[in-house]
Amino acid sequence: MKVKFIIFICSFCILSSAYSQKVLSLHPLFTEQDAVLIPEIEGLWSIQDFDMTISFQKAGDNFYLLKYGSETNASTFEAVFVKIKDEIYLDLCGVMPDTLGDGDYRSSFVTGHSFYKISITKDILQLHESNYSWFYNYAMKNNLTLKYEWVQNAMLLTLKTDELKSFLAEHQNEQEIFKNSITLISNHNDIAEKTNLTKKDSKVKPEAIISQKCIPKFPFKDGWLGGDGDVSVPLNATTTLFLFSDTYVGNKNQQSRKEPGMQMVSNTVAVQSCLPNRETDIKYFWNNMYSNNPEPIFKTYTKRYKYWVTGAFMIKNDLYVVLEKVGSKLGASPDDIFNFSLLGFTLAKISNTYDAPNEWQIEYISLKDFGNPSMGLGPHIVLDDYIYFFVSRYDKAQVLVRKPIDFINNPEQPFEYYALNKTWKEGLNTNDMETIVNGFRSTTVNYHPEMKQWVMISDIRFMDNKIKMRTAPVLTGPWSDEIVIYEIPEITPGNLLYSKSNFCYLPREHIQYYDSKNHVMLLTYDINNTNFSEILSSPKIYTPKIITIPLKKNGSR
């Protein structure tokens, strides 16, 4: 039986008694796109006049974890900074440990947010607390303009995020709205230690990347029970990394989804090796393998969203992985199978690529310019000194952006876009972007030198049974109309593999397996099903489907 919902009071109360009156917010003060990083905040801080130390540690791509207390009983908060009219605010929300109760128990708590106006100069950080008296008096005089509820000893603001930001922007210069000040003094002694802990040289150096002479396989083994996404990046002449999004995992010797112990993690990684005689071997990885709490390779360190993998590429010895931030869809109907929403994108950098994936040291880089329906980040191309991305606009058209490879690690360096006047311009002016392709989003774009053409694979529209491609002599076009290159048996009535509950998505070309002699592409696509019992029963569903497509009959010369 579900536990009754209550508010989980998440207030930063170092200087407050348990019964002091507080101002909390039901909704956060930030969105994923406007959260900002404050690099000088990282490290240890001492609270003036109190024998207490707190730490700020970067987590994910755009927020921090604030911790204080003992290692065995630490208080942990998500700490997110946002700028409103040139003032910086801190949003704090408590983190409930995964070890506390079960999932039903934890989900019965609704998180609340406390917020502070901050000022930082050299080694001094001041947190100015939201003033309960000011908000109380304002509510009594202007009851209709401030949305709130009373919760225990707190005024719980129910303004939505944009309303809350507008309210603070309107009143932030009033003296009493933020009052009590908490002063923190920086302690930089931990910097050298932190740097040493994050440095680790890769044990293996890459070989020259050439085409691979085998066909990948994705058997159920070592507790890996199927995943989707199927992004690949070759490491050398015999080794490819496959990166999956939502993945079913189980116990070490488990080979069926019907056995107890199966859980889902948001991403996993496999190392696929080509063996003699075109055979393959594969090893799967995720964090906390075979435990009661398995975790993905790419962890978000928050409950607000999870990461799905949308692309990966190598620059020198470093692996870069494009991650999609996926959160819950507010107001989703009970039968909505797409009960998630896109919140943005993150770029993960791995410098020790050639170590086991569960030993990767991952740095997250914000891609906050992308993520709304008009700017959905699509397939990438590394060409000359740039990384290019096709960007889907409302799934109706595609535009092209790029960034110098030398600045890929710098989120402050702006992207360039291909403009209406056929030149590259700095920034992302959506009103001035040239439409490169009219039509649905794409998944991969690869160059085929024997054709002297770029080949774009289009994503599959929901319940469509066709995989389509386009070609162009240069990235900026002109791109051909779509042509059908494969009819999908799993969603084609009359086929033995057909089920009316199946749907397919994310066809991708894996260029390392291209047969240039016979002009044959290798693609994978994903099969899902609206009926969970069919997913449990059939290992052919929710496991990458491998197909080969001859380019010669589709326009190759």
What DSSP line would sit under 256-275, residue for residue?
A: -TTSTT-EEES-EEEEEEE-
Residue ranges covered by each domain of the chain: 6-198, 445-557
Predicted local confidence at residue 189, as pLDDT: 52
Closest CA to 212 of 243, 242, 241, 237: 237
- Provide the Cα torsion 322, 266, 439, 376; round to 10°: -50
CA distance 510 to 216: 10
What's the first-to-final CA gap in the chain, in angstroms?
65
The token pair that represents 401 in the structure block: 């952006």
Predicted local confidence at residue 99, as pLDDT: 81
As a whole number, mean pLDDT of residues 307-333 equals: 94
pLDDT tens per residue across span 390-436: 999 999 999 999 999 999 999 989 999 999 999 999 999 999 999 99
pLDDT tens per residue across span 150-205: 988 899 999 999 999 999 999 988 989 998 889 999 986 543 333 232 333 333 33
Which 3-state string (H, E, C) describes 198-209? HCCCCCCCCCCC
CA distance 350 to 314: 10
pLDDT tens per residue across span 281-304: 999 999 999 999 999 999 999 999
Question: Pick the residue with more confidence: 282 or 102?
Answer: 282
Respond yes or no on whether the N-terminal peptide bond of residue 294 is cis (omega within 30° of 0): no
